[in-house]
């Protein structure tokens, strides 16, 4: 085997084992998969065991161990994709290519694979083909695309729908992705020139004063958990360590969330400025934007924006003329793992390991990336911080509610006329939002994605804020025609089964058990005891290590609480036990294999 190219790649990252993700991503892109015989070479060059390389490779969805076709199609199978007609699109792909999902066509040309939400819920069904995004697919377009693949066209030429608006049309992106910004607030309003805070404000403020201003604004983390941002910065500022890091978490994997994609497309300067601001506040020298692999199509563009900022002295040495303020940012791509949105899993991944959450404490502000003090903030949080510094915390506090200041960017999708991005002050009711989005005959809303809450119309007067309905931004609407249990809850449970890192036993097993129960009920074999089990069993999920594990049963818990009637109507009356076991079906396959007639 020619090991030269491997060596070259590994050398480019200084043979640094913590850059294993980057090395593997390059291998994957170069060959379309990661050949087994490259692993010992990578291990030798980086000085780690082959098992280490192996465990990292095997963890991430987009690292393939087998050839995945010259065109690798990853079709989203999230709940919204299904609602928007994924099934027909998938069948069209299978018919046209002659292979099934999970397989590669015989000639090795096209591979078909499922993938979790790719951040395009407002323009589903969507797929990634060799990293390029294709949205609003129809069977007709699929036939066109496959025809063009067979004709050997490069993936850039497969798109026929024109480029999306805004920066999506720039030569560095050229994506057919649409922004769908439906409502702007203080964050999305074009009332600010990127770099102004760095250039004009910072020299007048000490780091402590920056933190103080952020604290006064009562800004809380926008990823969903809502930790006070100023406090986090203060902890990190106080933490001992010569080198500190700023991470921006752009791994938005919660199905139904896509606001970070829009922020990074239209406001990347603001995001990077927010990271730089945080660096000034806590005294960090290096920043890393951890971004999901699904947004690989933004890579060249984001690197270009960073380059421009360096030219303007908004990054680099003595930033904005402030003596001794050195800071720079690089991108770190993931490779397809929802759990890496959890901050400590994100750090593990950025260090080239499996994305398994760490035990806390210690918290990242004390021991984070490479064991050093690290801030991890959501994309939106960092953008908000810049606006707070520019307009002042007083002004910021005039918006929102008492416990939730400012605005929240919501990703709205599902059954409504105007899906897209809505920036709203905290405090609107679900009803207000449904009105805004043009949603009628609404049966249910999933607030905060699968790990959040499924609410019924009785609760539509609840308000969006940390105290009541907290959300990282995902807001999925289901109308009266949707089968909540089959289409929604079941899909979400499959998502959690796929995405568990497998470390904690309850998270590894319980979603699977709950899904089995749910299927039993859906197949007409449910009894009252099954409902009791569904209610009691998830209690154990609290002992899981991370937020994913702790919330992985939420689709069942919240649907059972708010839509109990849907479960009850499927339960058999007057039967206390039904195992759902079908002997005839269970022996069918083995009898066929040995060639005998089942005798039952």
Partner 1 sequence: MRKKIIATTSLAGCFGCHMSFLDIDERILDLIELVEFDKSPIDDIKKFTRECDIGLIEGGVCNSENVEVLKEFRRHCKVLVSFGECAIMGGLPALRNTVPIRECFEEAYLHGPSVEEANEEMILPNDEELPMILDKVYPCHEVVKIDYFLPGCPPRADLIWNTLYALVTGEEVKIPYEVIKYD
- Within 235-274, the residues that bind partner 1 by CB under 8 A are none
| Residue 577 near partner 1 by CB under 8 A | yes
Specify the DSSP class assigned to residue 524. Answer: T
C-alpha distances (whole Å) from 505 to each of 78, 305, 332, 340, 450 are 25, 43, 29, 18, 20
273 contacts 279 by C-beta, under 8 angstroms: no
Q: Using CA atoms, how far apart are residues 302 and 242, in angstroms rounded to an integer?
A: 28
In the complex, minimum distance from the CB of residue 589 to partner 1, in angstroms, rounded to a whole number: 5
Q: Which residues of 169-202 are buried (b: 16+ CB within 10 A; e: fewer)?
A: eeeebbbbbbbbbbbebbbbeeebebbebbbebb
How many CA atoms lie within 13 Å of 535's alpha carbon, on the beta-carbon side?
12
Q: Which residue matches tokens 């708010």?
A: 562
If binding is defined by CB under 8 A, does position 205 make contact with partner 1?
no
Retrieve residue 63's tokens.
Answer: 């690292």
574 is a contact residue toward partner 1 (CB under 8 A): no
The CB-of-587 to partner 1 minimum distance in angstroms stands at: 4
Asked if residue 595 binds partner 1 (CB under 8 A), the reply is yes
* Least distance (Å) between residue 586 CB and partner 1: 4
Of the candidate spans 17-25, 337-345, 416-424, 576-584, the one that interacts with partner 1 by CB under 8 A turns out to be 576-584
Does residue 228 contact residue 388 with C-beta atoms inside 8 Å? no
The size of the interface with partner 1 (CB under 8 A), counted in residues, is: 20
Q: Are 527 and 576 in contact (CB under 8 A)?
A: yes
Nearest approach in angstroms of CB 34 to partner 1 is 23
Q: Does 536 bind partner 1 (CB under 8 A)?
A: no
- As a whole number of angstroms, the distance between CA 278 and CA 280 comes to 5
Between 191 and 590, whose beta carbon lies closer to partner 1?
A: 590
The answer to whether the beta carbons of residues 226 and 464 sit under 8 Å apart is no
Which window, 9-17, 296-304, 471-479, 573-581, contacts partner 1 (CB under 8 A)? 573-581
227: tokens are 């930790």
Say whether residue 98 binds partner 1 (CB under 8 A). Answer: no
Phi/psi region, residue 152 (left: phi>0; alpha: psi -120 to 50; beta: rest), is left
In angstroms, give the least distance from the CB of 592 to partner 1. 9
Closer to partner 1 by Cβ: residue 398 or 576:
576
Question: Judged by CB under 8 A, does residue 102 bind partner 1?
Answer: no
Q: Is 359 a residue that touches partner 1 (CB under 8 A)?
A: no
589 lines the binding site for partner 1 (CB under 8 A) = yes
Question: Considering the rule CB under 8 A, would residue 583 count as an interface residue with partner 1?
Answer: yes
The reply on whether position 575 binds partner 1 by CB under 8 A is: no
**Among 1, 204, 565, 600, which residue sits at the site for partner 1 (rule: CB under 8 A)?**
600
Least distance to partner 1, CB of residue 579, Å:
6
Closest to partner 1 by CB, 171 or 595: 595
Cβ closest to partner 1, residue 58 vs residue 590: 590
Q: Does 586 bind partner 1 (CB under 8 A)?
A: yes
Tell me how many degrees the CA angle 511-512-515 measures, rounded to the nearest 5. 85
Q: Which residues bind partner 1 (CB under 8 A)?
A: 577, 579-581, 583, 585-591, 593-600
């Amino acid at each position: 085997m020619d090991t030269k190219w491997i060596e070259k790649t590994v050398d480019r990252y200084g043979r640094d084992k913590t850059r294993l993700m980057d090395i593997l991503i390059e291998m994957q892109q170069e060959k379309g998969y990661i050949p087994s015989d490259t692993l010992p070479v990578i291990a030798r060059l980086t000085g780690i065991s082959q098992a280490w390389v192996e465990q990292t490779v095997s963890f991430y969805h987009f690292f393939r161990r087998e050839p995945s076709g010259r065109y690798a199609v990853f079709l989203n199978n999230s709940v919204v994709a299904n609602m928007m007609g994924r099934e027909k699109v998938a069948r069209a792909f299978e018919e046209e290519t002659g292979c099934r999902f999970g397989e590669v066509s015989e000639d090795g040309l096209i591979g078909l694979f499922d993938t979790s939400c790719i951040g395009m819920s407002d323009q589903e069904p969507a797929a990634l083909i060799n990293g390029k995004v294709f949205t609003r697919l129809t069977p007709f377009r699929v036939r066109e695309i496959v025809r063009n693949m067979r004709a050997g066209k490069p993936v850039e030429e497969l798109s026929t729908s024109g480029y999306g608006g805004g920066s999506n049309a720039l030569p560095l992106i050229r994506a057919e992705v649409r922004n769908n910004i439906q409502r702007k607030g203080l964050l999305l309003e074009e009332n600010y020139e990127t770099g102004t805070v760095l250039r004009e404000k910072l020299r007048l403020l000490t780091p402590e004063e920056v933190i103080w201003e952020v604290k006064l604004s009562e800004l809380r983390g926008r990823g969903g958990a809502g930790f006070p941002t100023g406090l986090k910065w203060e902890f990190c500022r106080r933490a001992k360590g010569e080198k500190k890091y700023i991470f921006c978490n752009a791994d938005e994997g919660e199905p139904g969330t896509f606001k970070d994609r829009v922020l990074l497309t239209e406001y990347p300067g603001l995001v990077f400025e927010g990271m730089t601001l945080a660096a000034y506040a806590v005294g960090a020298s290096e920043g890393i934007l951890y971004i999901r692999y699904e947004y690989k199509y933004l890579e060249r563009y984001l690197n270009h924006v960073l380059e421009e900022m360096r030219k303007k002295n908004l990054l680099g040495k003595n930033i904005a003329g402030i003596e001794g303020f050195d800071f720079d940012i690089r991108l770190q791509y993931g490779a397809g793992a929802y759990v890496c949105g959890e901050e400590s899993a994100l750090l593990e991944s950025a260090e080239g390991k499996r994305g398994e959450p760490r035990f806390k404490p210690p918290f990242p502000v004390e021991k984070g990336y490479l064991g050093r003090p690290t801030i991890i903030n959501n994309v939106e949080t960092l953008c908000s911080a810049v606006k707070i510094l520019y307009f002042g915390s007083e002004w910021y506090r005039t918006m929102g509610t008492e416990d939730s200041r400012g605005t929240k960017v919501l990703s709205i999708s599902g059954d409504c006329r105007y899906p897209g991005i809505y920036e709203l002050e905290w405090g609107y009711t679900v009803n207000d939002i449904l009105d805004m989005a043009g949603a009628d005959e609404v049966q249910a809303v999933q607030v905060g994605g699968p790990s959040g809450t499924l609410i019924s119309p009785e609760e539509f007067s609840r308000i969006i804020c940390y105290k009541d309905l907290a959300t990282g931004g995902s807001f999925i609407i289901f109308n009266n025609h949707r089968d909540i249990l089959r289409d929604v809850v079941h899909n979400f449970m499959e998502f959690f089964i796929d995405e568990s890192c497998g470390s904690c036993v309850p998270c590894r097993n319980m979603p699977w058990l709950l899904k089995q129960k749910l299927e039993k009920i859906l197949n007409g074999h449910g009894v009252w005891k099954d409902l009791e089990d569904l209610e009691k069993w998830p209690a154990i999920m609290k002992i899981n290590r991370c937020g994913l594990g702790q919330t992985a049963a939420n689709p069942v818990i919240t649907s059972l609480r708010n839509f109990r009637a849907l479960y009850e109507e499927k339960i058999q009356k007057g039967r206390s036990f039904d195992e759902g076991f079908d002997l005839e079906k269970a022996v069918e396959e083995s009898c066929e294999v040995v060639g005998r007639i089942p005798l039952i």
